């Protein structure tokens, strides 16, 4: 999977869970940090909880949203590791 494809899938997940704040600045920052970690050669830790994704964690269903974001985020990290050119293009474009 390319970085672009993984980003499209992540964006769809964010849209599905928008009521939990999945499209807000904070979760977008989490995604940006994941990609920067890959670029630096670090091992990014993809959040697994609503608090880790900085969602509205007090809302019922927020952990379901976090699980979906975790899956999409993990797929994005794997894509970024295998598609260095796509990652570089995305980061050069200004990202999220």
User: What is the domain partition of the chain in residue ranges?
Assistant: 1-91
Torsion (CA) 78, 39, 35, 77 in degrees, nearest 10: 10
* pLDDT for 96: 62
Side-chain-facing half-sphere of 4: CA atoms under 13 Å = 4
* pLDDT for 76: 98
Phi-psi group of 95: left, alpha or beta (phi > 0 → left; psi -120 to 50 → alpha; rest → beta): left
Q: What is the pTM of this model?
A: 0.92
CB-based contact 94:7 (threshold 8 Å): no
pLDDT band at 94 (very low <50, low <70, confident <90, very high): confident
Q: What percent of the chain has a predicted confidence (pLDDT) above 70?
A: 98
What does the pLDDT look like over 22-62, one tens digit per residue?
999 999 999 999 999 999 999 999 999 999 999 998 999 99
CB-based contact 7:86 (threshold 8 Å): no
Measured from the Cβ of residue 27, the count of other Cβ atoms closer than 10 Å reads: 25
């Amino acid at each position: 999977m390319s970085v672009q494809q993984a980003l499209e899938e992540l964006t769809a997940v964010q849209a599905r869970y928008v009521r939990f704040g999945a499209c807000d600045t904070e979760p977008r920052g989490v995604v940006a940090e994941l990609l920067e970690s890959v670029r630096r050669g670090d091992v990014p830790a993809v959040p697994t909880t609503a608090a880790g994704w900085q969602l509205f964690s007090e809302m019922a269903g927020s952990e379901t949203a976090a699980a979906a974001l975790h899956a999409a985020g993990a797929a994005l990290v794997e894509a970024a590791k295998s598609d260095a050119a796509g990652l570089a293009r995305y980061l050069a474009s200004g990202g999220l």
